[in-house]
Structures are given as C-alpha cells and as structure tokens.
Amino acid sequence: MSRTAIAIRHLAFEDLGGFAPVLARAGFQLRYLDIGVDTLATPEPMEADLLFVLGGPIGAYEDDRYPFLAEEIRILERRLAANRPTFGICLGAQLMARALGAKVYPGPAKEFGFKPITLTGAGEKSALSAFAHQSVLHWHGDTFDLPQGAIHLASTDVCVNQAFAYGQHALAVQFHPEAGGEGFERWLIGHTLELSLAKIDVSALRAENERLTPVLQSQAAACLETWLNSHVHWHDR
C-alpha cells in the first residue's frame, strides 16, 4: 500500500515544485487540497502519512478575512500534538508557528529573490544542510517568533527565524526550498503587483532563476530526501 501525502495549497502555481518528484520516487501518492475549492473538513489532512502546508500571499494572522486559516491551525495543532510528519513552507511555516503558540507579524522588511540562509549548528545537522552556502528563494513580508520547544535552524540578515524543527516529525521553513527552476515564470506573473510595489526587477529575478535552476532542483531533492529518510519515523504512526 502506497504512502499518502496531502499538500494544502493556497495558490495554484505555488505547488510542491522540486519536492514532487522526490515524493513520487519515495512511493507517495500525492493529493492537493486547494483552498477555496476543496474542503479541509475531511479526515485526509489528519490521516495522511505526510502533510505539507504551502505558501500564499496572505497573513497567517488574518483569520477575520480568511476564516479557513482557523481550520488549518486546528489541523496543525492536532498533527503536531500527535507527532505526525508535517512540513510547512512560508505561510505554512507561519501557521505552524501559530499552532505552537508563537506570534506571527510583519517583518522588518520584505524579502524577495535569491540569497543564502545562515544555518545554526542544529541547522547544519538537519535536512537544511542541503542549502549550506547556496542561494534559496525568499518571498515573504511576515515573520514569526520561535515557538517554545522548537529548534532554531536558520536565519538571514532580515529574518532571524527562517526555519525551525519541532520534534523529529515537523519542519517549518520561511523560505521556499521547493521553488525556483521550472514553473518560476508563473510566480512572476501571479505576483506581478507585489513585485511592482516592491520595485523588484523581474528580468533580473528571471535571469537569476535560470542561472540557479540546476542547483535549486538538486538542493530541493537533497533536502526532502534527507528529511524523509532521517527525520521522519514512519513506524511512529
């Protein structure tokens, strides 16, 4: 029987990217739950062997505008309490932080584009070691406090809390380890207003992605493969 992976997706083009082939090779049957189309009120998010919560251009604290956030947080609270393998990316990481009782709020500046992260000692021993001395994609304006009991893994000059681990089953990353490479043009189209407001040079961002594509894809694969093999104990269901 194949393993199941559910990805909660907030934007159609912000998918699992470079992570998807790794899951297929590892024998996972992947299904997306698209916010605004699919309901979260099903057993799948809790019962799946692996849950991803992906990024999106809304604040993790905007419950009044986006009521589905409360349901996502409830799902994450239950999975984290049950030590179920869970991986949050950008908005997903912020929702994980909230589910663990930490605050999410606007950061000191927006981070867009490719640049390296600085790994902590724990980060160097984690799946994020795949990104040591390499550029990753940043695409966020908010940040979060480190939840109690979480292990700090990475930072940048703008965002102190770029990633954390919670136990052996949960990983939250503020940056986008899955993104870049193929499909990146969809990001440039879908986020055109945000990029314009931030005065980002789209042509330069596109060129940087083209230059980094081979490295981005290999980094994504190495990160997820390491996490699946070393940090997720499938017998602890």
Write the CATH number for 43: 3.40.50.880
Give the C-alpha separation, 211 to 33, whole Å: 32
Residue 222 lies in a domain: yes
The total of structural domains in the chain comes to 1
Mean pLDDT of 56-75: 96
Report pLDDT digits (tens) over 174-225.
999 999 888 899 999 999 998 988 889 999 999 999 999 999 999 999 999 9
Residue 1 has pLDDT above 80, yes or no: no
Report pLDDT digits (tens) over 11-48.
999 999 999 999 999 999 999 999 999 999 889 999 99
Residue 5 has pLDDT above 60, yes or no: yes
pLDDT at residue number 232 = 53
Give the C-alpha separation, 28 to 44, whole Å: 14
Structure tokens, 129: 């070691």
Residue 31 lies in a domain: yes
Q: Give me the helix-helix angle, 91-99 and 68-81, nearest 10°.
A: 60
Give the C-alpha separation, 109 to 37, whole Å: 32
Residue 162 lies in a domain: yes
Question: Regarding beta strands 86-89 and 50-53, do their DSSP bridges make them parallel or antiparallel, or are they unpaired?
Answer: parallel
Residue 137 has pLDDT above 60, yes or no: yes
Residue 150 lies in a domain: yes
Residue 235 has pLDDT above 80, yes or no: no
Residue 236 lies in a domain: no
Give the residue numbers spanning the domain of 68: 3-231
